[in-house]
Structure 1
Amino acid sequence: MTALYLLDLVLVPAILLAACTAVGTRDRFAAVVSFIVYGLLLAIAWVRLGAVDVALAEAAIGAGLTGVLLLGALARMGRRADEAAAAGPPGRTLRLGAAALGAAVAAGIAAAVLALPEPAPQLSGAVAEALPALGLGNPVTGVLLAFRGYDTLLEAVVLLLALLGIWSLAPDPAWGGLPGLRHRARPEGVLAWLGRLLPPVGIVVGLYVFWVGADRPGGAFQAGTILAAVWILAVMSALVEPPAVRSLALRLALVAGPALFLAVGFAGLGLAGAFLGYPAAAGWAKPLILLVEAGLTLSIAATLALLVAGTPERAAG
């Protein structure tokens, strides 16, 4: 029995326990913390399955950034959460209905998975054959930016639409101002110290994850999340103020990724004969993909950071 086998024996029940705690507890804070732990454990599970790209995304977005969003939402609920808790738990009928619906969905997914033929249909062979033409070493990047480019483009647009939805909740007097509340931190405190120490390291790591994503695990979404976390830490440390929503530079950063993606996509109509196609000429595909990835990294970092910051709430000073 190897150490990795023992790790698996501990990891699987730990994931189930964290999931059940996140769903079953009545303490909202405990539920959010359990969800964050669940995401981190899932990231370890993805590493054990050999899907390092998915593990990076799960740890950075599924556990880290989503956890921060949930904690922020919990803090904003404030008294309303206490009033809802005082009203008592939902009725027995509602709980049984929710349990039955969840069980039905789980059974349907299990039936669909078990009905797959053996071996399961896959396109990994076709991807491996076409990957050298793109000049990429990471098949995940090839799928996301070339073979499944439509989905990735729409994901970037959906993130931007989510941010616009949050901004639309801002009160009229605060529109165009600074997002979120003003943060304060003691200059000699731990938070301010971390805010000065970690951002330079985080920026280097984020840029590295972006650059190696073409050939190794990494890419725009993982790098963008790391850079967003760096910015969030700097804001929480009261070292910088978030930019005003009306800032032209901010808006250009938000649309840079989708705009570059669309521009390369339309260029593909003339160069490759298909929307989001890449020219067959040797050496052209990889630079274009890196250009799109650079724009997406910037836009994803700005969008995720502003999603955490929330609605404009104060006038720009």
Structure 2
Amino acid sequence: MSGAWLLDGVLLLAVPAIALASLLSRRILPALAAFVAYGLLLALVWMRLGAPDVALTEAAVGGGVTGVLLIGAAARLRMPEAEAPPGWPLRLLTALLSLGITAGLAVAVLALPEPAPSLAPQAAAQLAATQLGNPVAGVLLAFRAIDTLLEAVVLVIAVIGIWGMAPDGAWGGRPGPEQLRLAEGPVVLLAMLLPPIGIVFGIYLAWVGADAPGGAFQGGSILAAMWILAWLAGLVRPPRIDSLALRLLVVAGPALFMLVGLAGFVVADGFMAYPAAWTKPVILLVEAALTLSIAVALCLLVAGWPMRRARA
């Protein structure tokens, strides 16, 4: 048995086992730890399937940022660990609904014709026109640019929704609870050592995404993780939400993307069309702006709504 087959077998057994552990755990923190591990294992599965871009996104967003958000939500809910579990009728209904969705997805996949319908050949044939070496970046920023724009806009809307939960007295203040500056410990050590490396790696992922696995979402997630680590150690604090610079950073990526899309009516063939001679530079500019906006938005989502009164 080769090493690849052994790894595939371990993943085949470990992924559903970790998923069940997360679902069946009666304690919040063990369930969340299993969820984060599940995301990291899924990243390995995507790598084995030859989809490194999806693997990077799963590791950074699915297992990393989402795990931090859930841990923060659990800490703020402060639900008692000894709370009575739901009764068997609700469990049975949930199990039946889950099985029904699984069966429906299985039928939909198995009912696809052979070969399955795909626009991949047409996209690959036109990839050279984008001047990009990474087909995933070409699809996301050229052939499905509107979808990518909407994903960036969703993050802005999520930040607005989080800020809207702030009490009137705290509006304009700093988001998140006050983080005490830690004098020592592993969090402080990591917060001092990792950010310089992580910032360079995040910028590299965003830059190289035009020609290799990476991109704005992956790079922005890494940059956000570095700030969150420093924030948890008490080394930095969030800016006030009435800061004009902060608000501009949140909307800079989607706004520039929208302006580029509208400019397509003038300089190209239509909305979200790029001028032939400037396709790659324009896409790199949009990717850079999106990286900053995604990083700032993710940081603000983790920090939460303003909890302290703004100071004059």
1:255-301: CA deviation from partner (whole Å, max 9, x where unpaired): 00010000000000111121001122x3x000110111011101000
1:186-245: CA deviation from partner (whole Å, max 9, x where unpaired): 333332222121111111000100110000000000000000001111111211111110
Q: Measure the CA separation in 2 of the matches of 1:157 and 1:312.
A: 21
Counterpart position of 2:294 = 300
Q: Measure the CA separation in 1 of the matches of 2:130 and 2:215.
A: 16
Amino acid at match of 2:128: P
Q: 1:161 aligns with which of 152, 157, 161?
A: 157
C-alpha contact (below 8 Å) 1:32/1:70 kept by paired residues: yes
Deviates more, 1:231-240 or 1:47-56: 231-240
Q: Does 1:41 align with 2:41?
A: yes
Counterpart position of 1:290 = 284
Counterpart position of 2:120 = 124
Q: Measure the CA separation in 2 of the matches of 1:112 and 1:170.
A: 43
Alignment CA distance shift 1:313-1:3 (3 Å): same
C-alpha contact (below 8 Å) 1:185/1:191 kept by paired residues: no
Q: Structure 1-normalised TM-score?
A: 0.96
Counterpart position of 1:259 = 255
Superposed, which structure 2 residues align to 1:16-95 within 5 Å?
16-78=16-78, 81-82=79-80, 85-86=82-83, 88-95=84-91
Counterpart position of 2:210 = 214
SS of equivalent to 1:29: helix
Superposed, which structure 2 residues align to 1:147-296 within 5 Å?
147-280=143-276, 282=277, 284-296=278-290
SS of equivalent to 2:80: helix
Deviates more, 1:186-195 or 1:225-234: 186-195
Q: Measure the CA separation in 2 of the matches of 1:33 and 1:193.
A: 22
1:135-158: CA deviation from partner (whole Å, max 9, x where unpaired): 100000011111001111011111
Q: Measure the CA separation in 1 of the matches of 2:283 and 2:257.
A: 9
Deviates more, 1:67-76 or 1:28-37: 28-37
Residue 185 of structure 1: how far off its partner (Å)? 3.4
Q: Structure 2-normalised TM-score?
A: 0.97
Q: Measure the CA separation in 2 of the matches of 1:289 and 1:62.
A: 25
Q: Measure the CA separation in 2 of the matches of 1:193 and 1:49.
A: 36
Amino acid at match of 1:303: A
SS of equivalent to 2:307: strand
Amino acid at match of 2:299: A
Residue 316 of structure 1: how far off its partner (Å)? 4.4
Tell me the percent identity: 59
Deviates more, 1:18-27 or 1:268-277: 18-27
Alignment CA distance shift 1:12-1:315 (3 Å): same
Residue 123 of structure 1: how far off its partner (Å)? 1.5
Counterpart position of 2:139 = 143
SS of equivalent to 1:162: helix
Q: Measure the CA separation in 1 of the matches of 2:172 and 2:225.
A: 23
Deviates more, 1:102-111 or 1:19-28: 19-28
Gaps of 5+ in 1: none
Gaps of 5+ in 2: none
Q: Measure the CA separation in 2 of the matches of 1:140 and 1:223.
A: 15
Counterpart position of 2:304 = 310
C-alpha contact (below 8 Å) 2:171/2:310 kept by paired residues: no
Q: Measure the CA separation in 2 of the matches of 1:305 and 1:209.
A: 18
